[in-house]
Structure 1
Amino acid sequence: MEIGIVGLPNVGKSTIFNALTSGTAAASNYPFTTIEPNVGVVAVPDHRLARLTELFKPKKTIPASCRFVDIAG
């Protein structure tokens, strides 16, 4: 899943991005701090996946993830 964070300049997009991804993107109190998009990938924990893996023993288990993009603006 890919999620883009968009909005007007200087409204907190990078702050939200950092909170969601535990990232370190620059977040300042003036417009246009973000020039290039910041990208972060977060694994989605799911206890059911571990249980299904135990039951069915697949060759490979791939957990869900979300890709967040902090778009300049």
Structure 2
Amino acid sequence: MAKLMRMAVKNPANGVYTPINNCTWFAGYLWNSITNEQLIYEQDFNGAVYAEKWGIDYLALISKIADPGMLAESLSKIKQID
């Protein structure tokens, strides 16, 4: 993803933070995988608009993007077990 976005990739084995694959994406995806829950951590994103604007064709395929606010809202709705 980072290479497609023309971002520097110093060590691909360590992964690369991008606006699409950010810490919220990682946290939400990991949470859902481990807990078998379905937290909402993404919001709608019209990638086609930005693909043309930014000259990154791949973005036309993106319809959702991870958002810290969405993840926080989902986590706040989880009932705590006493």
Query: TM-score, normalized by length of structure 2?
Result: 0.30
Greater strand share, structure number = 1
Higher RCO (C-alpha under 8 Å, 6+ residues apart): 1
Of Structure 1 and Structure 2, the greater helix share is in 2
Give the greater-gyration-radius structure (CA): 1
